[in-house]
């Protein structure tokens, strides 16, 4: 086989190798979320006993015994000003809630469910004749360095940050979301 024929075959193999690599990366990225193993819980001394979200400052703090354990930059719903009033308004609720569940199969990497709506939220929505909405989460999915509100009312952080938060926030942790 001539050197030029071998060279042409090698060059022809490059697109095939690139396609195979792209397919492998795509399949790994698209692996079912259930294939992920969530992070283990941190030591008790590193777990939060209270969460404060400051919407106007775009910060979330995990506290233990009144002291800040960790602080994160956050992004909110597309309509971040004001308390969530109804399904679809894209506002992040304000008030006192709890972390009521954990989803390791979230389409946003990992998520912690916020117990919105509470009794007061349901009462206000009923008085207005609207659905208060729900499915408010703290979740990943924000690309590193991205700084524009993008959720439908959730609190968003990067995937790396939600892994840290997941390990530090037990189900039942109180959360206060301030304007």
Catalytic residues: 139, 154
The mean pLDDT value of the chain amounts to 86
Query: Domain range for residue 137?
Result: 44-178
Read off the pLDDT of each residue in 164-177 and give the average, rounded to a whole number: 99
**SS3 per-residue string spanning the chain:** CCHHHHHHHHHHHHHHHHHHHHHHHHHHHCCCHHHCCCCCCCCHHHCCCEEEEECCCCEEEEEECCEEEEEEECECECCCCCCCCCCCCCCCCCEEEEEEEEECCCCCCCEEEECCCCHHHHHHHHHHCCCCCCCCEEECCCCCCCCCCCECCCEECCHHHHHHHHHHCCCCCEEEEEC
Residue 42 has what pLDDT?
97
How confident is the model over 130-145, as pLDDT tens digits? 999 999 999 999 999 9
Tell me if 99 is assigned to some domain. yes
Q: What is the pTM of this model?
A: 0.79
pLDDT at 14 over 90: no
What's the structural domain count of the chain? 2
Tell me, yes or no, whether 172 and 114 share the same domain.
Answer: yes
Tell me, yes or no, whether 76 and 141 share the same domain.
Answer: yes
pLDDT at 156 over 70: yes
pLDDT at 28 over 80: no
Read off the pLDDT of each residue in 64-82 and give the average, rounded to a whole number: 95
């Amino acid at each position: 086989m001539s050197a030029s024929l071998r060279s042409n075959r090698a060059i022809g193999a490059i697109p095939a190798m690139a396609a195979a690599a792209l397919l492998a990366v795509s399949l790994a990225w698209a692996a079912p979320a259930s294939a992920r193993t969530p992070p283990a819980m941190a030591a008790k001394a590193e777990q939060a006993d209270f969460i404060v979200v400051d919407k106007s400052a775009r910060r979330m703090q995990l506290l233990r015994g009144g002291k800040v354990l960790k602080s994160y930059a956050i992004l909110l719903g597309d309509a971040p000003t004001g308390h969530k009033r109804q399904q679809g308004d894209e506002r992040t609720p304000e008030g006192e809630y709890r972390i009521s569940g954990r989803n390791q199969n979230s389409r946003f990497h990992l998520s912690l469910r916020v117990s919105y709506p509470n009794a007061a939220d349901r009462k206000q929505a009923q008085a207005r004749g609207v659905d208060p909405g729900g499915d408010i989460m703290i979740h990943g999915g924000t690309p590193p360095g991205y700084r524009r509100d993008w959720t439908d009312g959730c609190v968003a952080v990067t995937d790396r940050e939600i892994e840290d938060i997941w390990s530090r926030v037990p189900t039942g942790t109180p959360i206060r979301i301030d304007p």
